[in-house]
Amino acid sequence: MEVSKMEEGQAQIDIWNYVFGFTSMAVVKCAVDLGIPDVLENPMTLSELSSALGCSPSALYRIMRFLIHRGIFKKMTIDRTDQLESIFYARMPLSRLLVRNGANSMTDILLLESSLVMLAPWHRLSARALENGTSSFQAANGEELWHYAVENSAHCKLIDNVLACMARTTVPAILDNHLEILKESLLWGINFDLPHVVSVCPHYDGVEHVGGNMFVCVPRADAAFLMQVLHDHDEKCIDILKKCKEVIPTDTGKVIIMEAVVDEEEVDKYKHVHLYLDMIMMAHTEIRKERTRKEWEYVLNGAGFN
C-alpha cells in the first residue's frame, strides 16, 4: 500500500509522542509532588509560586512552560500596581483534577500508576504476551499484585485510595443517568468486601458493613451492585454472578454492574481509556481484562441472565 509524503511526515512527528510519551506522566507527577495545583488556588507570578513551593525559579519556569503547553495550566496577564511581574500562572480544568483534596481529584490514580512498583511491569509486558509467559507484575516484582499489596502496606494504601477515587468520580455519573433504578433497588445497603477492608470503613447511616468472600457466598439482598469487580477469567465471573442470582428475588431482583465495555467498532469518546485500562490489566495482573459487549454477553448468559 502506498503511503503519501504527508502521511510519512505526520508519522515522523507522531513517533516522538511514543518515544517521549512517559514525559507527560513524569512532569504531571512532579507538579503533584511539588503541590503546584494545590498552591495555585488563585493566579500567581513565577516569583510568588517559586517562593510558596520553595522551588528554583528557573526550574519551575521550565516545568510550567511544559505543563502550559500540555493544557494543564495557563498563563495570563494581569496589571497590578503592587507587582513588578505581570505574567501570572493559573489553573485549568485539567489541573483542578490534580488538587489533592479536590472533589473530583484524580491524583490517587496518578500516584499509583506512576509508582515504581506499577511502572516496572510495563518493561516486562512482552513476557505476558509470550506463549507460556509469566505475569508482567510477578516478573518485575517477584509476586502477584494482590500478594504484594498484602505484604506492602504502603502500596496497599495506594490501591485503596485509587478504588475510593474511582468511586467518587464514577458514582455521580451513575446517579445522573440511572437514579430511578437505584432508588427502586438501593434503599438500604450492605457494603460487602473482604474483612480487612470493611474493618476500617467509616459508619454511614443506612449502610451495614459485612466482611466475607464473594467466591464463597454473597449476602441476601433485593439487588447486587458490582463496581470494578468482574475482571477475572470467565468462569470466576460467572461463579460470582451465579451467587448473586441465588440471593436476589427471582421476579424483582436486580444485578447492577458498573464496568467498562471495550467497543471495537463504534467511536466512543472514552474508547482510548477503555483500551488503556485493558492494557493495565494485562501489565499488572495475570488473567484480568476488560471485556467487549460479546464477552459480557457470554458471561451474563453463562450465569443465567438474559
What local confidence, expressed as pLDDT, does residue 53 receive?
97
pLDDT of residue 186: 59
Mean pLDDT over 128-151 rounds to 87
> pLDDT-derived band of residue 134, with 50, 70 and 90 as boundaries?
confident
Mean pLDDT confidence for 212-233? 91
Q: What is the 3-state secondary structure (H, E, C) of 97-123?
A: CCCCCCCCCCHHHHHHHCCHHHHHHHH
Per residue in 60-100, pLDDT (tens digit) is 999 999 999 999 999 998 877 666 778 999 999 999 999 99
In 17-46, which positions are buried (b, 16+ CB within 10 angstroms) versus exposed (e)? eeeeeeeeeebbbebbebbbbbebeebbbb
- Mean pLDDT over 254-259 rounds to 90
In this prediction, residues 129-135 reach a mean pLDDT of 76
Q: What is the pLDDT of residue 81?
A: 66
The more confidently predicted of residues 135 and 297 is: 297
pLDDT of residue 188: 79
Question: pLDDT tens digits for 148-203?
Answer: 998 999 999 999 899 888 888 887 777 777 766 666 655 678 999 989 888 888 89
pLDDT at 185: 57
154, three cell numbers:
504502603
Catalytic sites, residue numbers: 231
| Top-ranked range on mean pLDDT: pick from 44-48, 101-105, 175-179 | 44-48
